[in-house]
Amino acid sequence: MKRLIINGEVRETASETLPSLFSELGLPAPLLLVEHNGTALTRSEWDDIVLAENDRLEVMSVAAGG
């Protein structure tokens, strides 16, 4: 298990990648915007990120509306 800071909250996870983390958390990946340790990521970069102890993630959900 590793400790991550997600949207300012400490979470413990066994996930190694962003897609597996989002699955574990029940988050809808197609609707997410992600910042990893201060860097905004494109969806194509998600599989390249290996999560490490104390990584900081900001995860935002996109909502349609007007």
What's the rounded Cα separation, in Å, for the pair 46 and 51? 10
**Fold classified for 2-61:** Ubiquitin-like (UB roll) (3.10.20)
What's the rounded Cα separation, in Å, for the pair 60 and 52? 20
State residue 58's pLDDT score: 98
State residue 62's pLDDT score: 85
Per-residue pLDDT of the chain in tens (66 residues, 90 and over written 9): 999 999 999 999 999 999 999 999 999 988 999 999 999 999 999 999 999 999 999 999 987 776
